[in-house]
Amino acid sequence: MTNQNVPSIHPLPPLIANQIAAGEVVERPASVVKELLENSLDAKADNIEVDIEQGGIALIRVRDNGFGIRQKELLLALDRHSTSKIKDLDDLNRINSLGFRGEALASIASISRLMLSSRFYNDEVGHCVRLEGQVEPSTSEPIAHPVGTTLEIRDLFYNTPARRKFLRTDKTEFGHIHETIKRLALSRFDVCFKLTHNHKTLMALKVAPTEEEQLQRVAMLCGPDFVEQVLNIQETSSELQLTGWITQPTYSRSQPDMQYFFVNGRIIRDKLINHAIRQAYEDVLYSGRHPGYVLYLKIDPSELDVNVHPTKNEVRFAQSELVHHFLVNTLQNRLAKTSPSQVGGPPIHPPQTSPATSTHKQLNLPKRPSASAIRETTQIYEALQAPLLSEESFPDPEDYTIPSQPIPPLGYALAQLHGVYILAQNAEGLVLVDMHAAHERITYEKMKSTWQADNLSAQILLVPVTVSVSEHEAEIAEQQLELFNQLGFEISRAGPETLIVRQIPMLLTDANVTMLVRDVLADLSHFDISNRLQENVQKILATLACHTSVRANRQLSLTEMNALLRDMENTERSNQCNHGRPTWTQMSLKELDSLFMRGR
């Protein structure tokens, strides 16, 4: 090999370095909009206008009323790694700004025709600089400009045709821009946003200081149906704060396209957070369906690493398990309140009745078994086959009268329809209940309570199970032996890549032990936490609850129907069955009147 064939080490030309950085930061026009808007927000702007032409290919113009840029710093702002947001390592460890890398403007300028105009807040006039690809700006020009900054990006990717050919249609690219502005508008209710495309105004959002006005903005951005189905979240611990809205389980989507999660004002996509939210919804949502949410997490910036990726869409938590636990508990507690009593107000205790009428009695559901009862899965199942309703404990339906006041949220039963639905009357109008779905949820919640109180009941395997794993997974298992013991497993390491399972939870005696252990280890490796055991147990309990609940065509007396209604009001998550379907609905008198054109 001759010396001529050996490439020499040399610094990259500035333009090439900036275009490489642009490849990481600027994926499409929406990426440019995101970077510019983040700079505007960091400049304390409370009014931002965005003009787009041809999906952002021909023009992206962002105007703001922030504090502006000093004349002497305009040229510096276009240099790579120039920023006003961090000065030293301590600042990098406590980032409070959205943009901080200082490479966005230089990268954008290297692939477009850029004009930067700004007037610093205590200057009398503004100044502008222009940069087109390889042409380096040398001076700034004085111009008339209000306080704030305007960035005009024209002919995006004009000098990088290989990148430009991967862009989609103008409509598609504008859709990504619209979604980008939508996310930022959801993150900052204290800022006005205006968006025009091809000279047509498509978004004009005012400041929204109150929760009512914030929900109006959410309705404009996510749709009125979304807002009609949301549950408010407001929870604070010593280290974390979670606010915002989640959708009720009966409102779900086929895609995770209505999910917005902000950490310290920054929208992120994080596997830990997604895992926590899925776990919170795990037994109230159809498999394959996705909830909607707009959530805001506040955390000490020193507990958060946002410098994970150039796009700043990913973060890393210093205490990931703490964050995961906080999210799951907060959301599960809120979802647990999706019951009729929460819709109609606090639980109402039925009034005392005379001997001529009946006091409301609970359905004769399976009683909570003792620890000794949970010895074998078959014994649990048999215990749950006990009669669900005891006819002897109820008076004759003809003797039943509806108490006058107060009226519970689900009201009082009137009749049974086709052996499937309960018709009831409450203060609002007509209530319709799917009796099997409702009783299934009631049974399931009782069984979960039993499991949670007795989840250490375990079965020693007559023949221990050998599980082959990777050396890394075996090390994780050794580190998490206490966790496995808490879950009812007895596991030991028999070799570099071998585990021996000698004991498993009682309810999982029929489960695929090898697959379950591997899944738990995969979760621990990926998320530092696993809920595989709970998922498997809940699937079993849900199946048992389905088989032990009242079936269709079971004739119930009025008293039995009212007992079911009262149980629904006192059961968590009873607005939906174990599969996420609604258990009841109602029609107001006004809605009923409109069906028959009354009052017209």
Greater pLDDT, 97 or 555: 555
Higher-confidence residue of 119 and 402: namely: 119
Nearest-angstrom CA–CA distance, 180 and 164: 20
Residue 358 has pLDDT above 70, yes or no: no
pLDDT of residue 24: 60
pLDDT for the residue numbered 33: 96
According to CATH, what is the number of the domain 349-600? 3.30.1540.20
pLDDT score recorded for residue 322: 93
| DSSP H or E stretch at residue 146 | none
Range in 262-266, 337-341, 448-452 with the lowest mean pLDDT: 448-452
**How far apart are alpha carbons 38 and 60 in whole angstroms?**
15
Where is pLDDT greater, at 420 or 457?
Answer: 420
What is the per-residue pLDDT across 509-522, written as a single tens digit (0 to 9) for each?
Answer: 777 889 888 888 88
DSSP 142: E
**Which amino acid does the sequence have at 276?**
A
Residue 241 has pLDDT above 50, yes or no: yes
Confidence band, pLDDT 50/70/90 cuts, at residue 91 = low
User: Among 324-338, 339-353, 581-595, which stretch is predicted with the lowest mean pLDDT?
Assistant: 339-353
- Among 153-157, 342-346, 461-465, 566-570, the least confident range: 342-346
Rounded Cα distance between 411 and 31, Å, is 54
Picking from 433, 431, 429, the residue whose alpha carbon sits closest to that of residue 592 is: 429
For residue 2, what pLDDT band results from cuts at 50, 70 and 90? low
The two domains 14-205 and 211-335 share their CATH topology (first three levels equal): no
Token pair 């952002």: residue? 56
Which CATH fold would you assign to the domain 211-335?
A: Ribosomal Protein S5; domain 2 (3.30.230)
The domain 14-205: what is its CATH number?
3.30.565.10
Interval 160-178 mean pLDDT: 90
- Closest of 149, 168, 19, 24 to residue 74, by C-alpha: 149
Question: What is the rounded average pLDDT of the residues 402-417?
Answer: 84
The residue among 168 and 384 whose pLDDT is bigger is 168
Rounded Cα gap, residues 249 and 476, in angstroms: 35
Using the CB atoms, write b or e for 540-574: b if 16+ within 10 Å.
bbbebbbebbbeeebebbbbbbbbbbbbbbebbbb
Rounded to an integer, the average pLDDT of 418-438 is 94
Query: Would you say how long the chain is, in residues?
Result: 600
Q: What is the pLDDT of residue 432?
A: 96
Contact 295, 233 (CB under 8 A): yes
- Give the pLDDT score at 87: 60
What band does 534 get if pLDDT is binned at 50, 70 and 90?
A: low
Residue 342 and residue 487: Cα distance in Å, rounded?
A: 33
At 110 the pLDDT is 87
What pLDDT shows up at residue 117?
Answer: 96
Say if strands 141-143 and 126-132 run parallel, antiparallel, or are unpaired.
antiparallel
- Mean pLDDT across 329-336: 94
Identify which has the larger pLDDT, 206 or 374.
206
pLDDT of residue 431: 96
Q: pTM value?
A: 0.75
Share above pLDDT 90 across residues of the chain, in percent, rounded to a whole number? 49
Rounded to the nearest integer, the mean pLDDT of the chain is 82
Token pair 């406590």 is found at 94
pLDDT (0 to 100) of residue 239: 92
Instruction: Return the minimum-mean-pLDDT range out of 22-31, 275-284, 389-398.
Output: 389-398
Domain spans in the chain, listed from the N-terminal domain onward:
14-205, 211-335, 349-600
Lowest-pLDDT range of 128-142, 148-162, 181-195: 128-142
Average pLDDT (261-285) is: 91
pLDDT at 356: 32
